[in-house]
């Protein structure tokens, strides 16, 4: 007989019979699920966001990042090609690269036994390979080529780098599907990018809570008083939610700015601040810069990227994993290389909305930790996800959790749950 | 910086003491005082930024908090207290190692190390943020005011949320 409080060991990780309208809390805390995700999600048939090509513009440039919880290096070789390798020496496993970024690199040398790698991740030198004074050395059949760094398959589109541990992956475009390519190209049209800076925060909750947060327009119109007060995001603004054609793991929330007003929509809010005005209005003077009517497009690209376009704030939000109940969010804010100083300044001012101290995002990091605190000890309980019905279809409104249901529908297939 | 005369050294010691008193009052305002008084430590046309060290070192302009003028400082306090959802917390500032970098044309450039501890309900006190203030002071009616304060923090990683100014 079931008890009121069960651990995941007793549950056999069986999805609730209601299907996608329920999310069992064990997906957010189980060490077994976390291990399976490293293998099947981040280590499996997925393209992980790595970085922007403009972060490593020249041969010899490199940066470190993570795929799931695994440190990788992305770098540009002498021919201009981008490579992504695991930061783990092929010999004894040393995390050989200490610098988080650098330039003019010719080769990487592991400090332990000085195994040396070129910018393609190939081993170029193994000290004492032929022995010393006719003693020792590697066996005669030791193959340098077969003992290089572990490489990931790389895909780039319009200046954005993705990589996969699975070398049999189709193209990136096939992976996200035509609908998602369309939204991706809206921001990444091929116009050269420039990085404005980084923000990084560690949040004590499961990583999926942030991924589905961006798939949840229902919360955005209620939790984020700042957004609603300035009508940057309201339940009654023209909006839509769309998923990719295959697994529904990638999605977009699309909306457009409305008039600042108090009415039925805001009356359901706990703390409407329609009367709130800025003492320095320069902080928030959005300028139209993309085709179409949308002023907000938040796109999630499974499994580790959220592309943020809210007014003129553009950022890649990348998920790094720490453990089942902790992750890091790495924000790379960007603009376009040829934009005016004024536009860059707008982006820097509007960045006050986002990040660890953002008027909007701080709500999320606080609430996500509170969710984890609420569910961590109740693995056998389920979340109720029925706003907008129980289906997983695209919608033309925001009063829905359809993208969360679609996400868990796809997640179950990937994870075999 | 170098000093050549005793008088100069005494002036600098007095100025350093004045800046330390300023920072003590600044910390008191943010830790135990009225947040609405915070803007009083700045000139009307001030610039206040909280910025990760990595951005500063790579000449990347992005800040975590970016407030321009008294208006921007007011918006930060009102925005946080009126629109943001967060758990109750206490901050404790420790500001030390004050050093004067230059005194020129009515502008004093100074730096100080800061450490801000944060205490949340049912948790041990933790280091929320540590780094240095890079300051430009002016005198307004004889009193020191910040024309610019950059809070440059060392760790690339911030624990979840920075709610109040540093």
Alpha-carbon gap: B18 to the closest alpha carbon of chain A (Å): 30
Q: pTM for the complete prediction? A: 0.94
Residue A414 has a pLDDT of 97
From chain A, the residues in CB contact with B52 under 8 A are 197-200
Residues in chain B: 166
CB neighbourhood size of A149 (10 A): 24
Cβ of B84 within 8 Å of Cβ of A363? The answer is: yes
CA dihedral (B80, B86, B88, B90) positive or negative: negative
Alpha-carbon gap: A76 to the closest alpha carbon of chain B (Å): 19
> Which of B49, B56, B59, B83 to mutate against chain A (most A CBs within 10 Å)?
B83
Task: Please tell me the distance from the alpha carbon of residue B162 to that of residue B50, in angstroms, as a whole number.
Answer: 10
According to DSSP, the residues that pair with B99 across neighbouring strands are B111
Lowest average pLDDT, out of A28-32, A132-136, A255-259, B34-38, goes to A255-259
Residue spans of alpha helices (H) in B6-161: 6-32, 53-57, 69-78
From chain B, the residues in CB contact with A225 under 8 A are 82-85
Lowest average pLDDT, out of A140-144, A288-292, B82-86, goes to B82-86
Q: Is the CB of A322 inside 8 Å of chain B's CB atoms?
A: no
Q: Is the CB of B64 inside 8 Å of chain A's CB atoms?
A: yes
Of the candidates B3, B75, B46, B37, the residue with the CA atom closest to the CA atom of residue B145 = B46
Strand order in the sheet with A116-117: A108-109, A116-117, A123-125
pLDDT at A376 over 90: yes
User: What is the average per-residue pLDDT within B1-13?
Assistant: 71
Q: Which long-range contacts (CB under 8 A, 24 or more apart) does B112-117 make?
A: B112/B19, B112/B23, B114/B151, B114/B166, B116/B91, B116/B92, B116/B166, B117/B91, B117/B92
Alpha-carbon gap: A149 to the closest alpha carbon of chain B (Å): 27
Cβ of B162 within 8 Å of Cβ of A357? The answer is: yes
Of the candidates A4, A26, A3, the residue with the CA atom closest to the CA atom of residue A415 = A26
- Give the pLDDT band of residue B10 (cuts 50, 70, 90): confident
Residue A268 has a pLDDT of 60
User: What is the average per-residue pLDDT within A315-334?
Assistant: 98
B60, B84, B160 ranked by CB distance to A201: nearest: B160
Name the E strands within A143-238: 151-157, 160-164, 193-203
Mean pLDDT of chain A: 93
| Cβ A238 vs Cβ A213: under 8 Å | no
Give the pLDDT confidence of A239-257 residue by residue, as tens digits.
999 999 999 999 999 998 8
From chain B, the residues in CB contact with A282 under 8 A are 68
Alpha-carbon gap: A245 to the closest alpha carbon of chain B (Å): 34
Lowest average pLDDT, out of A5-19, A321-335, B122-136, B137-151, goes to A5-19
A197, A280, A366 ranked by CB distance to B72: nearest: A280
Q: Is the CB of B83 inside 8 Å of chain A's CB atoms?
A: yes
Q: Is the CB of B70 inside 8 Å of chain A's CB atoms?
A: yes
Cβ of A273 within 8 Å of Cβ of B83? The answer is: yes
Cβ of A283 within 8 Å of Cβ of B68? The answer is: yes
| Per-residue tokens: B94 | 């420790």
- Tell me whether 0.85 is exceeded by the ipTM: yes
Give the pLDDT confidence of A164-185 residue by residue, as tens digits.
999 999 999 999 999 999 999 9
Residues 286-315 of A with CB under 8 A from B: none
């Amino acid at each position: 007989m079931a008890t009121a409080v069960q651990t995941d060991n007793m549950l056999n990780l069986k999805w609730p019979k209601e299907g996608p309208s329920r999310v069992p809390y064990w997906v957010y805390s189980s060490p077994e699920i976390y291990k399976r995700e490293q293998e099947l999600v981040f280590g499996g048939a997925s393209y992980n966001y790595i970085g922007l090509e403009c972060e490593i513009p020249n041969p010899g440039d490199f940066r470190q990042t993570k795929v799931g919880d695994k440190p990788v290096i992305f770098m540009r070789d002498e021919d201009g090609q981008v490579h992504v390798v695991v930061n783990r020496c092929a010999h004894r496993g040393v995390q050989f690269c200490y610098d988080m970024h650098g330039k003019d690199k010719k080769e990487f040398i592991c400090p332990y036994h000085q195994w040396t790698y070129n910018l393609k991740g190939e081993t170029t030198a193994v000290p004492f390979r032929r022995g010393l004074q006719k003693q020792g050395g590697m066996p005669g059949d030791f193959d340098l080529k077969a003992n290089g760094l572990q490489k990931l398959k790389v895909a780039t589109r319009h200046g954005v780098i993705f990589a996969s541990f699975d070398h049999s992956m189709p193209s990136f475009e096939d992976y996200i599907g035509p609908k998602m390519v369309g939204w991706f190209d809206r921001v990444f049209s091929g116009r050269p990018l420039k990085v404005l800076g980084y923000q990084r925060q560690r949040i004590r909750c499961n990583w999926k809570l942030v991924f589905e947060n961006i798939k949840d327009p229902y919360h955005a119109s209620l939790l984020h008083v700042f957004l609603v007060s300035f009508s940057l995001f309201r339940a009654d603004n023209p909006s839509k939610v769309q998923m990719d054609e295959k697994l529904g793991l990638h999605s977009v929330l699309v909306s457009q700015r409305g008039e600042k007003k108090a009415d039925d929509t805001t009356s359901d809010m706990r703390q409407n601040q329609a009367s709130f005005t800025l003492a320095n209005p320069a902080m928030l003077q959005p300028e139209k810069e993309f085709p179409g009517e949308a002023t907000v497009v938040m796109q999630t690209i499974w499994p580790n990227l959220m592309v943020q376009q809210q007014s003129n704030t553009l950022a890649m939000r990348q998920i790094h994993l720490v453990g089942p109940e902790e992750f890091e969010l790495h924000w790379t804010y960007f603009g376009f290389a040829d934009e005016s100083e004024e536009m860059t300044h707008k982006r820097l001012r509007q960045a006050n909305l986002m990040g660890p101290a953002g008027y909007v995002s701080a709500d999320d990091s606080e609430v996500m930790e509170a969710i984890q605190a609420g569910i961590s000890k109740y693995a056998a309980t389920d979340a109720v996800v029925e706003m907008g019905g129980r289906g997983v279809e695209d919608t033309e409104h925001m009063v829905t959790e359809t993208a969360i249901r679609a996400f868990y529908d796809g997640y179950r297939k990937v994870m075999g749950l | 910086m170098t000093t050549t005369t005793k008088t100069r050294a005494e002036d600098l010691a007095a100025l350093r003491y004045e800046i330390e008193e300023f920072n003590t009052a600044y910390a008191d305002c943010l830790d135990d005082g009225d947040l609405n008084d915070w803007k009083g430590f700045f000139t009307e046309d001030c610039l206040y930024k909280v910025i990760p060290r990595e951005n500063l070192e790579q000449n990347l302009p992005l800040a975590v908090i970016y407030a321009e003028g008294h208006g921007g400082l007011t918006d930060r306090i009102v925005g946080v207290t009126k629109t943001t959802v967060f758990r109750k917390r206490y901050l404790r500032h420790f500001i030390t190692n004050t050093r004067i970098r230059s005194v020129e044309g009515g502008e004093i450039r100074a730096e100080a190390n800061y450490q801000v501890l944060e205490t949340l309900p049912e948790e041990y006190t933790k280091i929320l943020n540590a780094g240095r203030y890079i300051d430009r002071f002016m005198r307004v009616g004889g009193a020191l005011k910040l024309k610019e304060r950059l809070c440059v923090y060392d760790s690339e990683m911030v624990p979840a949320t920075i709610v109040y100014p540093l």
